[in-house]
Amino acid sequence: MKTRIFTLVMVAGLAVLPACSKADAAKPVQSPAANHQELGTKITHVNAVQSSAWIKKDADIIVLDIRTPKEFNSGHIDGAININFYDADFASQLSALDMSKDYVVHCRSGGRSGKSLATFKNLGFKHIVHMDGGMKAWNKARLPIVK
């Protein structure tokens, strides 16, 4: 008897559920990444030589070196800003920057800067140019540094 009542309740409950319309079914489900694109976040991957050309071409682009201060002081791209990826308040320091500007972001070899891309997206930066290979690639290409 309990089984019949349960079955009856279940069938009756299903009958009152609203049906999805064809219009609802046709709506695409957007991933979080798609939402970031709508907000204007764009990530461009370039090598060191391309990065150097981009920096020379665009006087407004900001170079953001996310290595440790010790690494930064051993040699960095002229005009670069240093924000240490390992700082506990790394995201907070990034959020103080002008997110509407374009940034070339790099570290020593690309690992930390690659991991940081999600943070830039989450914060809503407009455009990040990621220098693949980092300062190792920059030095290998014999591009200029300052100490």
Inform me whether the pLDDT recorded for 105 exceeds 90: yes
Q: What range defines the domain where residue 83 resides?
A: 32-140
Please indicate, yes or no, if residue 66 is contained in any of the structural domains: yes
Q: What is the pLDDT of residues 75-95, one digit of tens each?
A: 999 999 999 999 999 999 999
Instruction: Give residues with Cβ within 8 angstroms of 97, minimum separation 6.
Output: 62, 64, 103, 125
Please indicate, yes or no, if residue 21 is contained in any of the structural domains: no
> Ramachandran region of residue 142, left (φ > 0), alpha (ψ -120 to 50) or beta?
left
Give pTM, 2 decimals.
0.72
> Ramachandran region of residue 79, left (φ > 0), alpha (ψ -120 to 50) or beta?
left
* CATH number of the domain encompassing residue 66: 3.40.250.10
Please indicate, yes or no, if residue 13 is contained in any of the structural domains: no
Q: Which helix H or strand E contains 129, and what residues bound it?
A: strand 127-131
Tokens 């320091």 locate to 93
Please indicate, yes or no, if residue 73 is contained in any of the structural domains: yes
Is 107 a catalytic site residue? yes
Identify the active-site residue in 80, 104, 107, 129.
107
Please indicate, yes or no, if residue 97 is contained in any of the structural domains: yes
Inform me whether the pLDDT recorded for 30 exceeds 80: no
Domain total for the chain? 1
Please indicate, yes or no, if residue 6 is contained in any of the structural domains: no
CA distance 128 to 102: 6
- pLDDT number for residue 40: 63
Q: What is the pLDDT of residues 108-141, one digit of tens each?
A: 999 999 999 999 999 999 999 999 999 999 999 9
